[in-house]
C-alpha cells in the first residue's frame, strides 16, 4: 500500500491484510525461510541471511499467539472508528473492514498565517487561536454525535492528521470512552475530505512492517 523512511533507519511498508501472506512469501523467497518470534508489537521475522521484518499488529487485531494467528487476526473485518483533523477540517467515520459504514466531514474557517508584525500580528494570532478552539469544539460536538454512541462497538479508534488538534478534540470529557480505545497508530493525511477518509479506512487496517537498514532489497 505504500512505503516511507523510518526514523532511525530502514523504512516502513504498509501491506493490506489480503496481501500479507504473499508479501511474506516474497520475503522468504528473497532471504530464505524466516524464523518468526512473537513480540510486544506483533511478530518479528528473521531470515537466514540476517534480513529482518517487524510486523506490527493492526489496530484492534490483538489476541494472536503465533504467525498464523497474526495473519488470521489481521484479515478479520474489524469495526474501527476514524478521527482525522487538521486546522479547521475534521472527518469522522466508522469503518467495517475497509468499507465506510458511516461518515461525516466538517470544515470550519481558520485564518491562515500572516507575515504582518506588531499589534496587528498579535491580534491576528489571538483571533486565529480563538477560531481554532471553536473549530476543535465543533469537532468534539460532531464526534459526540457520530462516534461516541458507537464507542462500545469499536475495536479501536484510529486518528490522523494534526496530532495536537486531535489531542485537543479528544480532551473533551464527553469523549473519554473514545480516548480509551485510541490506537497507537496515527495516520499521516492531508486536509480531511471524504476521499481522504475512504483512504484512511484502508490504511487503518493495514499491517505496518518495519524493515531495518540491514534489509536493503525487500
Q: How far apart are CA 72 and CA 197, in angstroms?
A: 25
Mean pLDDT throughout 75-95? 94
Are 34 and 47 contacting, i.e. CB atoms less than 8 angstroms apart? yes
pTM of the model: 0.86
89 and 70 co-located in one domain: no
56 and 98 co-located in one domain: no
Q: Is 140 helix (H, G, I), strand (E, B) or coil?
A: helix
Assign 1 a pLDDT band (cuts: 50, 70, 90).
Answer: low
Which is higher by pLDDT, 179 or 215? 179
Q: Would you say residue 155 lies in a domain?
A: yes
Are 81 and 175 contacting, i.e. CB atoms less than 8 angstroms apart? no
91 and 181 co-located in one domain: yes
133 and 180 co-located in one domain: yes
Phi, psi of 124 (to 5 degrees): -60, -45
Q: Would you say residue 165 lies in a domain?
A: yes
Mean pLDDT throughout 7-32? 95
Phi-psi region of 94 (alpha: psi -120 to 50; beta: other; left: phi over 0): beta
Give the pairing type, strands 156-161 and 52-56.
unpaired
43 and 119 co-located in one domain: no
Q: Would you say residue 218 lies in a domain?
A: no
Q: Structurally, how many domains does the chain consist of?
A: 2
Q: What is the CA radius of gyration of the chain?
A: 20
For 131-164, what is each residue's pLDDT tens digit?
Answer: 556 668 899 999 999 999 999 999 999 999 999 9
Return the C-alpha cell found at 117: 508584525
Comparing 27-41, 55-69, 118-132, 189-203, the range with the smallest average pLDDT is 118-132
64 and 94 co-located in one domain: no
CATH of the domain at 166: 3.30.420.60
Q: How far apart are CA 136 and CA 42, in angstroms?
A: 34
Q: Is 103 helix (H, G, I), strand (E, B) or coil?
A: strand
DSSP assignment string, 92-149: EEEEETTEEEEEEEEE---PPP----HHHHHHHHHHHHHHHHHHHHHHHHHHHHHTGG
194 pLDDT more than 50: yes
7 and 83 co-located in one domain: no
Assign 111 a pLDDT band (cuts: 50, 70, 90).
Answer: very low
State residue 215's pLDDT score: 44
DSSP assignment string, 207-218: EEEEE-TT----
Q: Provide the domain limits for residue 64.
A: 2-77+206-211
73 and 87 co-located in one domain: no
71 and 93 co-located in one domain: no
Amino acid at each position: 500500500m505504500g512505503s516511507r523512511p523510518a526514523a532511525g533507519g530502514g523504512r516502513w511498508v504498509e501491506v493490506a491484510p489480503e496481501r500479507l501472506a504473499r508479501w511474506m512469501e516474497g520475503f522468504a523467497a528473497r532471504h530464505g525461510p524466516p524464523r518468526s518470534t512473537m513480540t510486544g508489537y506483533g511478530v518479528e521475522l528473521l531470515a537466514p541471511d540476517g534480513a529482518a521484518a517487524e510486523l506490527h499488529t493492526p489496530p484492534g487485531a490483538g489476541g494472536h499467539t503465533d504467525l498464523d494467528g497474526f495473519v488470521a487476526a489481521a484479515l478479520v473485518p474489524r469495526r474501527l472508528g476514524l478521527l482525522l483533523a487538521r486546522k479547521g477540517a475534521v472527518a469522522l467515520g466508522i469503518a467495517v473492514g475497509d468499507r465506510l459504514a458511516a461518515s461525516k466531514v466538517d470544515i470550519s474557517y481558520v485564518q491562515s498565517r500572516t507575515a504582518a508584525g506588531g499589534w496587528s500580528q498579535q491580534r491576528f494570532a489571538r483571533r486565529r487561536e480563538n477560531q481554532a478552539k471553536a473549530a476543535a469544539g465543533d469537532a468534539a460536538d460532531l464526534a459526540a454525535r457520530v462516534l461516541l454512541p458507537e464507542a462500545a462497538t469499536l475495536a479501536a479508534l484510529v486518528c490522523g492528521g494534526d496530532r495536537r488538534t486531535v489531542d485537543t478534540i479528544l480532551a473533551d470529557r464527553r469523549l473519554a470512552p473514545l480516548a480509551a480505545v485510541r490506537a497507537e497508530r496515527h495516520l499521516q493525511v492531508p486536509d480531511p475530505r471524504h476521499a481522504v477518509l475512504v483512504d484512511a479506512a484502508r490504511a487503518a487496517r493495514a499491517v505496518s512492517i518495519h524493515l531495518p537498514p540491514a534489509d536493503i532489497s525487500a
